Amino acid sequence: MAERGRPRSFDRDEALHRAMMLFWEKGFQATSMSELTAAMGINAPSLYAAFGSKDALYREAMALYEEGDGVELGRQIAEAPSARAAIEAYLMRSAALFTRSGKPAGCMVVLSVIHGAGTSPQTCTALRDARAEAQAIIEARLRRAVETGELPATCGPTGIASFYVTVQQGMSIRARDGATLPELGAIAQAAMAAWDGLTQARS
C-alpha cells in the first residue's frame, strides 16, 4: 500500500533544513511564519500540514541541528584518546562550528536559552534537556577517565564539566558577537590552561 492522495510537491527535509537555518539565526520568536514560508518556498497550509505548527516545526529543526553539530561534537568527545584531548577537541571543534561561513554563528540550542520565554513549555523543556545532555556527556567522559585511572579519584567531574560547558556556551555568545575562529580558539586554549589545576587539586 503506497501513499495515498496527492503527493507533496516539496522536499520535506530541504524545507526543514531551511527552517532550521532561519530559527538558528533569528530564534523562535523573531522568526515569523511569513519568513518561514518564504524561505521554505511553500504556503502556510502546506507547512501546517507537514509540520503541525510553528512550535512543532521548531522542535524538528532543533532535532535536526542536534543530529548535525550535536552528534559531531559527541563524536569528537568519544573518539578522543584522553579526557584532556576530549575537552580540547570539544572546545576547538566548537570554535570551528561556531564560525562556519554560510551558517549562523554559535550554538542553536545554547542561544535559545533566552528565547525560552515565548516558546511552549514543551519546547522549553526539550531545549533545557538538550543543554543538560551536553554537560552529561562531558561529565560521563570525565568519570570514565577517573575509572580508568587517567584522572585522580579526587577530581570533581561535575564541576570540571560545568566549567568547560560554561566556556563553550560563552563562546556561543562571543561568536554571535562577531568573534572569529582564531579568537575563539584562543579562548578554548586559555580554558585548557586550567586543566592541570582542575584535575590535580581537589575540586
Partner DNA sequence: AAGATTATTTATCGATCGATACAGAAAGGA
Partner DNA sequence: TCCTTTCTGTATCGATCGATAAATAATCTT
Could you list the residues that contact DNA (CB under 7 A)? 1-10, 29, 31-35, 42-46, 48-50, 53-55
Q: Which of 13, 199, 183, 159 is nearest to 99 (CA)?
A: 183
131 binds a second copy (CB under 8 A): yes
CB under 5 to 8 A by kind: which of a second copy, DNA, none does 94 bind?
Answer: none
Taking the C-alpha atoms of residue 167 and residue 187, their distance in angstroms, rounded to an integer, is: 8
Shortest approach of DNA to residue 131 CB, angstroms? 23
DSSP structure string for 43-102 = -HHHHHHHHSSHHHHHHHHHHHHIIIIIHHHHHHHHH-SSHHHHHHHHHHHHHHHHT-TT
Site map (CB under 8 A) of a second copy, residues 144-163, x = contact: ---------------xx-xx
3-class secondary-structure state, position 7: coil
Q: By CB under 8 A, is residue 97 in contact with a second copy?
A: no
CB 173 within 8 A of CB 69: no
Among 1, 2, 5, 117, binds a second copy (CB under 8 A): 117
What residue ranges bind a second copy (CB under 8 A)? 25-27, 29-30, 110-111, 113-118, 128, 131, 159-160, 162-163, 165-174, 176-177, 183, 186-187, 190-194, 196-198, 201, 203
